[in-house]
Structure 1
Amino acid sequence: MAAAVALESLSAPLIDSHCHIVFRNFDEDLEEVAQRWRDAGVGRLLHACVEPSEIPAIRALADRFPELRYSVGVHPLDPEHWAPDTQQVLREAAQADPRVVAIGELGLDLFRDKNLEQQLAMLRPQLDLAVELDLPVIIHCRDAAEPMLRELRDRADRGACPKGVMHCWSGTPEEMQGFLELGLYISFSGNVTFPKATDTHACAQAVPAERFLVETDCPFLAPVPRRGKRNEPSYVMAVAQRVAELRQDSLQAVALQSTSNACALFGPALHNV
């Protein structure tokens, strides 16, 4: 209850810049979940896509919930969903709906799998597509900062590095600096509330004000005090509150800044929240 009251005085609605409400564990109570995010002051949701077969269902959610925008892409841990025509499938989906505001969730993940070359073979055409369509990318990067920085720096040297965000940031301040130098944003999720996430805390303190976002990555990574339970968009307030504490700033200021930053990155489709 206290969280909902705290947000009533905010002059800017929060944006959950990364969520997955298409997942089956929202089937039974999605209307109640939506009411909670509205009551909590969440004005926009950006729904990330992990593989092409999700796109029709995510589009249907955008029809159902007018505050939802979405991306199209293939997650690095889902190579079975990459086919020779996948780039074209993503291109057509992005061009067919102005509510598509990003390419992703793409990236590299060497925590679970070590198939770097296979992941790069999916990553590169998605980065190319983002540049072609002038859309930002949503980057998943876990235990893979070095190869990701190498890839993006090479593209920057060729003038082919898209803008974008490092979602659910869990890297070190030094790694963060490398991505900031490439013009990327840094997004904090529920893990910023975890007591032992000291690197993430340091990054939240150090990131420039104009370069951070907040997200839930729901249904994963529910913030303290709901850790271990299903996450949902209304809980983005807990993320914003912890970021505010770490930055010794007000919740109001973090809400205003993160909303402004999300709109700057993802464009006009996120405005008027």
Structure 2
Amino acid sequence: MVDSHCHIVFRNFDDDLEEVSRRWRDAGVKALVHACVEPGEIGAIRALADRFPELRYSVGVHPLDTQHWHHDTAAVLRQAARSDSRVVAIGELGLDLFRDQNLEQQLATLEPQLDLAVELDLPVIVHCRDAAEPMLNLLRQRADRGACPRGVMHCWGGSPEEMAAFLELGFLISFSGTVTFPKAAATHACAQLVPADRYLIETDCPFLAPVPRRGKRNEPAFVASVAARMAELRGETLTEVALTSSSNAAGLFGLTLHTV
């Protein structure tokens, strides 16, 4: 399996990261994509990639971290991406109107990152919460002028209709621990409907631990629970979901075969 979105740089992994890594390897996780929320993390994430050869990472600014966007941030991200082949995406970028209402500021941070992804021919990792309409409007405008990067809608929580719109734009859909939550009916429907070649699985750890560990710290090994629930919803085997989602992740992020 590939955990296509994690945050093990956070301090709550400081004391037991070696044990955490043993658990993800024992669970069959062969590759991880570590998302970045602001440039100050890049050095520490790069050090994690040195420590764990199965780890690849993104560089970017999260929509809830717009205070970290400065006049030179695009140049900082460009240099970081160009200087390390283990950078496989730009992000985590996007829009979040659930926690913040500063749409114009978020767009001002988002647009140059989308430009950078197109420039560097890298996929984007998109965070989109309560913001499907403005995100779709922006991406459709960019698609019309040939400036919409490929990418993945991370930690999917939208409706089947919204999913169809992002799929039409060429995006993949990534399912997290929320797909295991009993009341997540829309996410369950999306998991059943998404085409086999268009989905990923992730943990978004340390957040959103899947059932039966809900409410506890999440970790990459728990992506197995996401895969198991996806298999139930899709009427497939765990092996089928693991291999399909891994192949999709390898295709999107350019992971080499020995990584997966």
State whether TM-score is above 0.5: yes
**Does structure 1 residue 54 correspond to structure 2 residue 41?**
yes
Give the counterpart letter for 1:169 in structure 2.
W
CA deviation vs aligned residue, 1:177-218 (integer Å, no higher than 9, x gap)? 000000000000000000000000000000000000000000
Alignment of 1:240 onto 2:233: no
Distance 1:76 1:247 in 2: 32
Q: What CA distance in whole angstroms lies between the structure 2 residues aligned with 1:179 and 1:17?
A: 18
The aligned residue for residue 101 of structure 2 is: 114
Residue deviations 1:66-89 (CA, integer Å, cap 9, x gap):
000000000000011000100000
Confirm or deny: 8 A CA contact 2:31 2:259 kept in the other structure.
Answer: no
- The runs of 5 or more residues in structure 1 that have no matched partner are 1-13
Task: Specify which of 32, 36, 39 is matched with residue 23 of structure 2.
Answer: 36
C-alpha root-mean-square deviation of aligned residues, in Å? 0.7
Aligned with residue 264 of structure 1, among 232, 246, 251: 251
* 1:81 aligned residue: 68
In 2: Cα distance, 1:105 partner to 1:218 partner: 14
Contact 1:192 1:200 in 2 (8 A): yes
Write the distance in 2 (CA, Å) between the matches of 1:238 and 1:22.
Answer: 22
- Equivalent pair of 1:221/1:228 in contact (CA under 8 Å): yes
1:69 alignment partner, one of 56, 67, 75: 56
SS for the counterpart of 2:63 is coil
**Does the alignment pair 1:168 with 2:166?**
no
Runs of 5+ unmatched residues, structure 2: none
Contact kept, 8 Å, 2:96 with 2:128, in 1: the verdict is: yes
What percent of counterpart residues are identical?
Answer: 77
Q: Is the 8 A contact 1:99 1:269 kept in 2?
A: no
Whether the aligned pair in 2 keeps the contact of 1:69 and 1:269 (CA below 8 Å) is no
CA distance in structure 1 between the partners assigned to 2:28 and 2:123 by the alignment: 25
Q: CA deviation at 1:270?
A: 6.5
Taking a change above 3 Å as real, the CA distance of residues 112 and 158 of structure 1, as seen in their structure-2 partners, is: same
Match of 1:253 in 2: 240
Deviation digits for residues 110-139 of structure 1 (CA, Å, limit 9, x no counterpart): 000111000000000000000000000000
TM-score (norm. length: structure 1):
0.94
TM-score by length of 2: 0.99
Give the drift of 1:269. 4.3
